[in-house]
Amino acid sequence: MFQALYFYCHSGRRLLLCLIFRQINPITKKTMFSYEDILENLAEGVIAIDLEMKVKVFNQSAEKITETSRSVVIGKPLKEAFRRDSRLVEMLEKTLSEGRLFAEYEEKLHRRFSGAPLPVGITTSQIFDINGNLNGAVALIKDLSGIKSLEAGSLRKERLAYIGTFAANLAHEIKNPLSGIRGAAQLLSKRVKDEKLNEYTNVIMKEADRLNLILNDMLDFARPAKLNKKDVNIHMVLDSVLLLLQEGLAPATFIKSYDPSIPPVSGDEGQLTQVFLNLVKNAKEAIQTTGNIRITTRMITDFHLVEEGSSGGKMAAIEIKDNGCGIKPENLEKIFTPFFTTKPKGSGLGMAISLKIIKEHGGLLKIDSEPGHGTTVVISLPIAEREKNQ
């Protein structure tokens, strides 16, 4: 025996009559499971309003998505509960008053504590009782952040492949005439006796050398890596990087928190050194001469969240955290894009090359940052095979 509640929902181009059942034991007449149980276990957030536009249903997933307790919104007018989300209010209002249904409408929803709005898909429908009378409206809210992340990653991969090919061809075309320009300037500097004119030839050579460094970075980014993998002590790599970059910083600026039990990782020591030099240098520039940089290492076991290119299994995590100026959200989205930089003399290839190297090692690179609160970079690298098998 079942009891049912009815509401209309929109799926694609079809209008469907949906039922939420409550199973009734025919002997005891007691509910075996209720529609509340179903609502509370849905992965999607459910927000239902009555004819007065007051919130009547706010399930557990809705709490998680909005970071708001149901005790704050239940019984309150929708406009009051979602002041910053006028589009959600408008959609439910139109669904209730005009019967207009929205299907997987992409919107951004503000959260109570997190800074950036969350990308969501919103589907709305009207709610009817068993006699067909309109009782309210409901919104089904789906978290799209994971999907958007995958789409962005796929788009970035395609873009990097195109830019890599373009960069390699461009670098080869420029290097030959650039060498000629520098050689001519060098010859002129030897023959010209006027010191003022020599200043100009020195500028030409200096700028030619700078362009040559950028072109080499472009070629490093574009060409397939030739990894010389071996067992690498990641702590020795980090210590060598910190020693190189210690100049100009107080001894207490670098705070090391190493896990001594971490076994060797599998990688190319030279290329990994290049990555950590770039990341620690970025952190150093972010804090200027004040603040601190904390370098933490730890083991990650049973690594289940495996992305494309990662090897999974046992991995070592290296965290580089500073309390500097942080990165603006709009810049954080572009940080791995080649030639994007906020530095006056930067090439914009450092982070793109670092990501490429880590991916080729079967590792992961993640960045979290907030303006004024610093930046945290976490790199995960696979443990050497002989250690995995022990």
Q: What is the pLDDT of residues 318-356, one digit of tens each?
A: 999 998 888 888 888 788 877 777 776 666 778 888 888
Q: Of the given ranges (55-59, 60-64, 111-115, 181-185), which has the lowest mean pLDDT?
A: 111-115
Task: Check if the beta carbon of residue 12 is closer than 8 Å to that of residue 123.
Answer: no
CA 124/CA 181 separation, integer angstroms: 66
Q: Which CATH number does 230-388 carry?
A: 3.30.565.10
Taking only the tens place, the pLDDT of each residue in 225-242 is: 677 888 999 999 999 888
Q: What is the pLDDT of residue 308?
A: 45
Taking only the tens place, the pLDDT of each residue in 93-149 is: 999 999 888 888 888 888 877 767 888 889 999 988 888 889 899 999 998 877 766
Mean pLDDT across the chain: 79
CA 106/CA 281 separation, integer angstroms: 39
> What percent of the chain shows pLDDT beyond 90?
23
pLDDT-based confidence at residue 222 (cuts at 50, 70, 90): low
pTM equals 0.50
Beta bridge partners of 319: 296, 378
CA angle 376, 359, 160 (to 5 degrees): 95
Q: What is the pLDDT of residue 297?
A: 94
Pairwise pLDDT comparison (23 vs 147), residue with the higher score: 147
Give the residue extent of every domain in the chain: 2-143, 148-222, 230-388
CA angle 334, 335, 341 (to 5 degrees): 95
CATH assignment of 2-143, given 3.30.450.20, 3.40.640.10, 3.40.50.10210, 3.40.47.10? 3.30.450.20
Residue 349, token pair as written in the block: 């290839």
Q: Which CATH number does 148-222 carry?
A: 1.10.287
